[in-house]
Structures are given as C-alpha cells and as structure tokens.
Amino acid sequence: MGLTHPRVASGIALLALVPLALGGCGIGGDDEATAPVTETQRAPAEEAAAKSRERVQAYLDAMAAKDVDAGRSQLCAPMQKPFDAAATGPNGDFADHFTVPQATITDVRSGPHGQEVSTAVTVAVGTRKATRPLLFTVTRSGADWCISAEAPGGNTPEPAVTP
C-alpha cells in the first residue's frame, strides 16, 4: 500500500503541471490577439497603404492632366472597359467641360475589399468650383496594385498616431 500513494501523488502533480507547460508553449492561449505588432507584420500593411496611395495619386494626376491612357493604366483589368465608355462622357472623370484644379488624398485605410483611399476632388466649370469626396478601392492584382472601384464619398480621416 505504501507505493500506491506516491504514484497517485506523482500522477496528480503531473496532471496539474501539464496545462501550465502547454500554456508556456503557446498552446491554448490567445497570445496573438494581445501581442504587439511586429515589424514583419507592419511591413505588408505599410506597403499596401503606400502602393494604394501611389495608384490613386497617379489617377488623380491623370485626371487633372486629362490623360485618359494614364488614368486607365491605374485601373484593374475588369474596370478598363467600363472606364473607356464613361471616362470622357458628361459626368466622366476626364470630361472636357471641366478642370480639376485640386485633388487631395485625405485618408488611406484597410477596408473589406482592399485598401480604401479617400480623396477630395475639386472640379471647376468656368468660375464655379465644387469639391466632392471620392472613395477609391485599391487591390493587389498579382504582383502589382490597381484601382478596383471608385464611388462617391469617403472615410473621415483617422487621427494621427504618435509612436
């Protein structure tokens, strides 16, 4: 009888220590949700924001210059055919009857369908000017980035984060 109790005690001690040992290995815990973002995790997000900003800025520059080909080249392939039909129409981004004296990117953030780039575009017809928000969605297509959607509206700029 004397040997049974030490075995039982050892078994209970072992069972009590297993959850602690597994927790230290990362099994069973939700460490990723509370862990700080590392440089390797931040790099893809920063790249996505930078590439999205570049694509939209190139599109805005093309719109101001009335360069339809340069504008089309910023778009994803499925958007290019509808763009050709609408770009120079009466309400198109490249319509002849108005100019774009100013276009500014106001916010870039991750959205449900890609990077969302909010802009404020000032359109002038003669002496009349109006500034309207436009929201561009930019997605990755293979190794490159392209504009996959454009819609009226935009996001309110997020407050600047200071490290």
Q: What is the pLDDT of residues 80-97, one digit of tens each?
A: 988 988 888 888 889 888
Kindly tell me if the per-residue pLDDT of 13 is higher than 70. no
Q: How many angstroms separate the Cα of 151 from the Cα of each of 40, 49, 90, 125, 154?
A: 32, 19, 17, 21, 8
pLDDT of residue 14: 44
Model confidence pLDDT, tens digit, residues 95-141? 888 899 999 999 999 999 999 999 999 999 989 999 999 999 999 98
Alpha helix ranges (H) inside the chain: 4-24, 31-34, 39-65, 68-72, 77-86
Average pLDDT over residues 73-86: 91
Helices (H) and strands (E) in the chain, counts: 5, 4
Q: Residues 113, 148: contact at Cβ < 8 Å?
A: yes
pLDDT of residue 156: 77
Pick the closest to residue 114 from 70, 79, 85 (CA basis). Answer: 79
pLDDT of residue 85: 82
What integer best gives the mean pLDDT of the chain?
A: 79
Q: Which helix (H) or strand (E) holds 145?
A: strand 144-152
Whether the pTM exceeds 0.75: the reply is no
- Residue 46: CA atoms inside 13 Å, Cβ hemisphere, count? 7
Burial 69-98 (b: 16+ CB within 10 A, else e): eebbebbbeebeeebeeebeeeebbbbeeb
